[in-house]
């Protein structure tokens, strides 16, 4: 079941998280949560527009290996630039892991809003790394939340695969 109102809970949680990540010096994560607020509204309005003739369905057509290559290459380049900036000009902690999970979360969130199946594969990897990142920063509650998200990512992948037939 897809619950459109869940987008609003995501927006609210993201707003609260911005404060936390700024104060724990995970600046890329704070940026990520600003992005989540915007994508929360985008996802809500995109899902709200579905009608009987205009239904947003799970797709896999965008995920040929070459497309993944470009996604990964582009995201990695952005992550290195972001990490280098925070490493050089701020007191950020773990800027490279932080930047990689952030940039790849941008990609996964966009793909999720478009209902692209492989978004779940990205989330499984991102959430796994983020569990470690949050535990390493003493953010045990957020790390546990990421474990829940990791589980949800696996279940989401299974559910969307079934929806494809």
The residues spanned by each domain of the chain are: 6-164
State the pTM of this model.
0.84
User: d(Cα 72, Cα 82) in Å, to the nearest integer?
Assistant: 15
The confidence band for 112, taking pLDDT boundaries of 50, 70 and 90, is confident
* The predicted structure's pLDDT at residue 2: 65
pLDDT of residue 1: 47
Question: What is the mean pLDDT of the segment spanning 132-150?
Answer: 95
Q: Which residue has the tokens 């704070």?
A: 30
- Could you tell me the pLDDT band of residue 130, with boundaries at 50, 70 and 90? very high
Round to whole Å and give the CA distance between 151 and 104: 18
In angstroms, how far apart are the furthest CA atoms of the chain?
52
Rounded to an integer, the average pLDDT of 109-116 is 82
- Sign of the C-alpha dihedral computed for residues 79, 35, 130 and 74 taken in this order: negative
pLDDT, one tens digit per residue, over 24-43 is 999 999 999 999 899 889 88
pLDDT at 59: 65
What is the DSSP track for the chain? Answer: ---TTHHHHHHHHHHHHHHHHHHTT-HHHHHHHHHHHHHHHHHHHHHHT--SSS----B-TT--HHHHHHHHHHHHHHHHHHHHHHHHHS--SSHHHHHHHHHHHHHHHHHHHTTBTTHHHHHHHHHHHHHHHHHHTT-HHHHHHHHHHHHHHHHHHHHHHHHH-
What pLDDT shows up at residue 57?
66
Could you report the per-residue pLDDT of 40-80, keeping only the tens digit for each? 898 888 878 865 555 666 665 456 788 889 999 999 999 99
């Amino acid at each position: 079941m897809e619950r459109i109102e869940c987008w609003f809970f995501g927006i609210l949680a993201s707003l609260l998280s911005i404060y936390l990540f700024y104060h724990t010096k995970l600046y890329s994560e704070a940026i990520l949560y600003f992005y989540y607020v915007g994508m929360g509204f985008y996802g809500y309005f995109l899902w709200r527009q579905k009608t009987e003739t205009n239904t947003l369905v799970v797709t896999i057509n965008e995920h040929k290996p070459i497309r993944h290559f470009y996604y990964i290459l582009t995201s990695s380049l952005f992550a290195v630039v972001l990490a280098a900036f925070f490493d050089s000009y701020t007191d950020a902690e773990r800027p490279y892991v932080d930047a990689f999970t952030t940039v790849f979360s941008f990609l996964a969130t966009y793909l999720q809003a478009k209902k692209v199946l492989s978004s779940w594969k990205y989330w499984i990897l991102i959430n796994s790394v983020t569990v470690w990142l949050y535990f390493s920063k003493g953010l045990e509650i957020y790390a546990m939340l990421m474990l829940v998200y990791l589980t949800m990512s696996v279940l989401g992948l299974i559910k969307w695969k079934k929806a494809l037939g």
